[in-house]
Structure 1
Amino acid sequence: MKRHKVEIFFVLTLLLLLGLTKWARIGLSSLQILFSLAVISLIIHEIYWKRRKLPNGPIPWLTLGNMATLATANFDDLMSKWRRKYGGIFTVWIGPFPLVMVNDVGTMKKYFVQNGELFSNRWRNFVTDSFMNGANGLIQIDGEKWREQRRFSLHVLRNFGVGQHRMERKILSEVRHLTSYLQKNGEIDLCTPLAVCVGNIINDMLFGITFPQGSIEMKRLHSLLDAQSKLVVNPLMGLYIAAPFATKIPFLNKPWLELIKHRDHLWDFLGKQVQSHIEMFNNGHSTIDDFTFAYLEEMDRRKEIGETGYFNEWQLQMLLLDLFFAGMETTVTTLKWAFLLMITHPVVMKNVQKELDCLNVSEVGLRERSLTPYTQAVICEIQRIANILPINLLRTVCDDVEIDGYTFPKGTMVIPQISIMLNDETVFEEPKEFRPERFLDDEGKLKRIDQFMPFSLGRRQCLGESLARAELFLIFSNVIKEFDILPVPGEIYSRKRALGLTVSPQKYRVHLVPRKLDTNMNPV
């Protein structure tokens, strides 16, 4: 790879010398020669000089980088093509910004686990700072503030039973509300009922509130998150990052105004939750029964000892925003893919039902997870096919880094591009095919595949992984056990992807038919 760069530089230098010789012969003016030199210098800088110490990758266009190719090609296919051509690590240019994509397991572990301290900062920009009012929350912060807030969040979530029987009871309670609601509806878009089910689990944990199935307020909140997810990947966001003044230009700033409107609605909802908790806390509420009360108690404790750290009301509100989004959007999106894939693969659904029926239980719990390897394999394959984060959340290096012969200046975006691995044909044969069996060994047991890491890895691995795994298993298996999920006549079921921060399927409706089971929970 380094040899190719040297060859490119040699060719460009030779062309420059030949050009100077020719210009001198034909008598171009000094101004014309200077202009030509400037153009050639720019070309040399763009296609060689700025790239020389970074991993190889597609040659960028002047100023635009590789944006034109990214905007016009199928993203998954393009990433797989570049991986085959450039290997397990390559650089893509987002305008003037290099984005180093690591899609090799060994390199990922070396960079993001062994050297996680160096490769785990976040990329701050005008858009994220505007949405979070600076470096706040959990996702877009780093350094000591991130360590403090993540450590506290993990501690509180564990206290509230994440990964334990207490959380299982809460999930199953919401699953019962969901299946009861679905019993009354034949043809339905599952998106909103799923959002209420998953949303209530995280809402109860964060704020101590839940919404009934059919709730208009919960539908509004999910719509805000969904709209936000789509807006942040609008190509104009790149313009706003590079030239913030564009947010003031009429017509050009329409996506920006929409994003800020949705942000303000979310801020308003979260602000009301925080303020109501503060009032109760100040009036003597002493039961720490949700995340917000736990945070307020920690703020109060720190004030008493004079060590507030990064704990304050605004940081709490933005932390709640991150946890609310992460705890709802990703799981709901994965479940939307799950039931779409069951419609288009009815044999797989029947096989899942057959395995679940053998349990002879009225309700599938986490204790049954080890007894259902096929169901688990189906969920893994759903996550792989759904591939809901086409570009992993951006990480940056915290300081100038030299590793593997590359030099990464401070602030360079270097991310574990897990989505590429999920489509790697050398690991997943015919990756576009839905084949749950690829996650089973010869004895029918669930097997581990190193390239399958849907919750990321390293210091930025998903905070709520155990909760999300429990939700996916309990919601998916109990709905499949209760219903046959059939296509609606005339409805189109496509795996075409609706791009956003998370990638959803196109909207679809299903026809739900309650399954008839006897007293031993076997199909009649």
Structure 2
Amino acid sequence: MIIVLSVDHFLISFKRKENPPQMPSLKYAILLSIVTSFLYFRIMRSFEMDSYTTIYIYLFFCAVSYIFYELDYKRRRLPNGPMPWLLSGNMPSFINVKNVDDLFLFWKQRYGGIFTVWIGPIPLVMVSDLPTIKKYFIQHADAFSNRWRNFVTDSIMEGSNGIVQIDGDKWREQRRFALHTLRDFGVGRPLMEQMITLEVTTLMNHMEKTCGLSTKEVNLCPSIAVCVGNIINNMLFGLRFNQDNSYMHRLHSLLDDQSHTVMQPIMGAYIAFTVTTKVPVINGEWDRLMGIKKELLEFLEGQIQKHRENWKEEMMEQEPEDLTYAYMIEVEKRKRAGEDVGFFDDQQLKMLLLDLFFAGMETTVTTLKWAFLLMAKNPRVQQKVQEELDSIAQPMIEIQHRTRLPYIQATINEIQRIANILPINLLRTVAEDIDIDGYQFKKGDLIIPQISILMNDPEIFKNPKDFCPERFLDENLNVKKIDEFLPFSIGRRQCLGESLARAELYLIFANLMQNFKFEVSEDVTTERVLGLTVSPVQYTCKISRRGLDHNQNCVK
């Protein structure tokens, strides 16, 4: 380890300033190796060395050449970063680390705002300062906005389908359709608030029934998941579940399991060596992931089938009831007009629904899990939040009240910053060869805007581990814009459902905080559980009503 660090320091000190040379293609590298080997043995034979000595010297020469290639040559064209280990890259650095955010921040402080981490033999460039993020992912969005497809993603999405893992014309067409349809269903409009308010009211009634007039210790997370799930289910399928519905709780559990399973280290082996998915014992996580996928797709296929069975001709002239019907109507209209249906097909519909269902639930539910845990762990902030909410003196907090609730907005911002639920942004790839800032990016190279580093950077957020909503307020106690605060990512791959998520977080958080008090025991921690999104450890919360019911009647 000491040797590796010494070599790392040496290479940093003598890093070349000129543009690095092009790396040879694989076929030329193999040809060069064959020719070099032939010449080497001819030369060694001329020195009349015995065969064993010749082989030993040759193997030593190969080993030295390989080490030089791994530790120096292959890294020249990309931004500097931590020295990779042979074969495993920087993966050993993740084994004993308690907080991956701290590791990324350490690398940024050491190597600068753009650096390369090696996932085995695969380089991943992390961009973690705002000017460079804007330069790469906004100014050069065409070059840095593709997605990384691999064996795991293709197996889950059954090829290039959905909306998250696709590129090019298909992505543009399907994203345009999804945005247009979601807007028609009220996203960003008053209709959206009505849908959310209905589910929030249902959730609060359920919580009041659970709590009664006393304090009850409950696991709040499943109830929040049903509330958020019903909002996206209603848009996608026209479907709602009761709070006590076990099937909805099962769907939420599947999404949680999928989020954590895909982040298991063994997934790297499945990607690099696909045969391992068929090897007993080590393919356990793969079988688990495929089982989750199968159960989720059975739910989606069931919803699609119900829509087909309930299809009526008059729907062609009516506003669609949900996104599934909107998709079917779009396909039928194109067919009847003799137009190309483009990338619209049954498989794409199923995977589009899977992406929207996961994205519409997982991120918002996870953020709200953190929200009420952080409120319970920070009673001072909880009290200030409730004092501001009490100033509204209305039975329901609405979107129109937002401008009168700056501390609420600042608190939600701080919850998103502290929760920092995407430890590694969804992987993007370089769409075409490009030279920029002295680096040579090849088509297919992995690169991401590493937003999580910005959210933890002490140069931007003083004492970043402290929960302090006041950091988002200016001297006049108005909400302060901080450019580096990017919880919904940036550029063309910015979150499709941002406006919906913002409205959900605000209305659910504000109304529950207005009506209930949250407490947790001392032993409940804010430890982070790594997955596609980072969740808190499962916790139970003591919940009590705050003295007023929804009709503003005193509760005795």
TM range (shorter): over 0.9
Per the alignment, residue 15 of structure 1 pairs with none
Q: Secondary structure in 1 aligned to 2:443?
A: coil
Per the alignment, residue 72 of structure 1 pairs with 96
Consecutive unaligned residues of structure 2, counting only runs of 5 or more, are 1-11, 21-43, 211-215
- Out of 168, 177, 185, the residue aligned to residue 193 of structure 2 is 168
Residue identity opposite 1:342 in structure 2: M
1:182 corresponds to 2:182: no
Whether the 8 Å CA contact 2:425–2:451 is kept in 1: the answer is: yes
- Out of 258, 272, 282, the residue aligned to residue 288 of structure 2 is 258
The superposition leaves residues 316-367 of structure 1 with CA deviations (integer Å, 9 ceiling, x where unpaired) of 0100000000000000000000000011001101100000100111100000
Deviation at 1:455, TM superposition (A): 0.1
Deviation at 1:475, TM superposition (A): 0.1
Q: CA 1:33–1:465 in structure 2 vs 1: closer, same or farther (change >3 Å)?
A: same
Whether the 8 Å CA contact 1:54–1:406 is kept in 2: the answer is: yes
Whether the 8 Å CA contact 2:396–2:550 is kept in 1: the answer is: no
- Out of 101, 115, 121, the residue aligned to residue 96 of structure 1 is 121
1:46 corresponds to 2:70: yes
Separation (CA, whole Å) in 2 of partners of 1:43 and 1:24 = 28
Deviation at 1:33, TM superposition (A): 1.1
Per the alignment, residue 203 of structure 1 pairs with 233
Separation (CA, whole Å) in 2 of partners of 1:317 and 1:86 = 43
Residue identity opposite 1:156 in structure 2: T
Per the alignment, residue 80 of structure 2 pairs with 56
Whether the 8 Å CA contact 1:498–1:505 is kept in 2: the answer is: yes
Equivalences for residues 61-460 of structure 1 within 5 A: 61-73=85-97, 74-185=99-210, 186-281=216-311, 284-286=314-316, 287-304=319-336, 305-460=338-493
Q: Secondary structure in 2 aligned to 1:4?
A: coil
Residue identity opposite 2:368 in structure 1: L
The superposition leaves residues 410-444 of structure 1 with CA deviations (integer Å, 9 ceiling, x where unpaired) of 00011000000100000111111101000000000
Deviation at 1:79, TM superposition (A): 0.7
Residue identity opposite 1:241 in structure 2: I
Deviation at 1:6, TM superposition (A): 7.9
Q: Under a length normalisation based on structure 2, what TM-score does the superposition of the two structures give? A: 0.89
Residue identity opposite 1:178 in structure 2: L
Residue identity opposite 2:157 in structure 1: M
Deviation at 1:282, TM superposition (A): 5.3
Whether the 8 Å CA contact 1:357–1:522 is kept in 2: the answer is: no
Separation (CA, whole Å) in 2 of partners of 1:83 and 1:523 = 54
Moved more, 296-305 or 24-33: 24-33
Equivalences for residues 23-42 of structure 1 within 5 A: 29-42=53-66
Separation (CA, whole Å) in 2 of partners of 1:196 and 1:341 = 21
Separation (CA, whole Å) in 2 of partners of 1:282 and 1:256 = 41
The superposition leaves residues 439-467 of structure 1 with CA deviations (integer Å, 9 ceiling, x where unpaired) of 00000000110110000000000000000
Q: Secondary structure in 1 aligned to 2:321?
A: coil
Deviation at 1:101, TM superposition (A): 0.2
Residue identity opposite 2:149 in structure 1: R
Identity between Structure 1 and Structure 2 (%): 54
Deviation at 1:70, TM superposition (A): 1.8
Per the alignment, residue 527 of structure 2 pairs with 496
Per the alignment, residue 536 of structure 2 pairs with 505
Deviation at 1:71, TM superposition (A): 2.4
Whether the 8 Å CA contact 1:127–1:241 is kept in 2: the answer is: yes
Q: Secondary structure in 1 aligned to 2:206?
A: helix
Separation (CA, whole Å) in 2 of partners of 1:145 and 1:219 = 33
Deviation at 1:522, TM superposition (A): 10
Separation (CA, whole Å) in 2 of partners of 1:468 and 1:135 = 26
The superposition leaves residues 350-406 of structure 1 with CA deviations (integer Å, 9 ceiling, x where unpaired) of 100000100111100000111100010000000000000000000001011111110
Separation (CA, whole Å) in 1 of partners of 2:241 and 2:219 = 18
Separation (CA, whole Å) in 2 of partners of 1:417 and 1:522 = 48
The superposition leaves residues 221-279 of structure 1 with CA deviations (integer Å, 9 ceiling, x where unpaired) of 00010000000001110000000000000010000000000000001000111111122
Moved more, 304-313 or 145-154: 304-313
Q: Under a length normalisation based on structure 1, what TM-score does the superposition of the two structures give? A: 0.94
Whether the 8 Å CA contact 1:385–1:434 is kept in 2: the answer is: yes
Give the length in aligned residue pairs. 509
Separation (CA, whole Å) in 2 of partners of 1:198 and 1:297 = 26
Q: CA 1:404–1:517 in structure 2 vs 1: closer, same or farther (change >3 Å)?
A: same
Deviation at 1:306, TM superposition (A): 3.0
Deviation at 1:487, TM superposition (A): 2.2
Residue identity opposite 1:119 in structure 2: F
Moved more, 439-448 or 64-73: 64-73
Q: Secondary structure in 2 aligned to 1:281?
A: coil
Whether the 8 Å CA contact 2:529–2:536 is kept in 1: the answer is: yes
Whether the 8 Å CA contact 1:396–1:413 is kept in 2: the answer is: yes
The superposition leaves residues 486-508 of structure 1 with CA deviations (integer Å, 9 ceiling, x where unpaired) of 225xx732111111100100011
Consecutive unaligned residues of structure 1, counting only runs of 5 or more, are 10-19
- Out of 491, 497, 519, the residue aligned to residue 486 of structure 1 is 519
Separation (CA, whole Å) in 1 of partners of 2:368 and 2:461 = 22
The superposition leaves residues 5-28 of structure 1 with CA deviations (integer Å, 9 ceiling, x where unpaired) of 589x9xxxxxxxxxx9xx999998
Separation (CA, whole Å) in 2 of partners of 1:364 and 1:164 = 16
The superposition leaves residues 90-111 of structure 1 with CA deviations (integer Å, 9 ceiling, x where unpaired) of 0000001000000010000010
1:515 corresponds to 2:549: no
Q: CA 1:37–1:218 in structure 2 vs 1: closer, same or farther (change >3 Å)?
A: same
Separation (CA, whole Å) in 1 of partners of 2:48 and 2:158 = 57
Deviation at 1:30, TM superposition (A): 1.5
Separation (CA, whole Å) in 2 of partners of 1:236 and 1:314 = 28
Whether the 8 Å CA contact 1:373–1:444 is kept in 2: the answer is: yes
Whether the 8 Å CA contact 2:236–2:324 is kept in 1: the answer is: yes
Whether the 8 Å CA contact 1:89–1:104 is kept in 2: the answer is: yes
Separation (CA, whole Å) in 2 of partners of 1:501 and 1:135 = 20
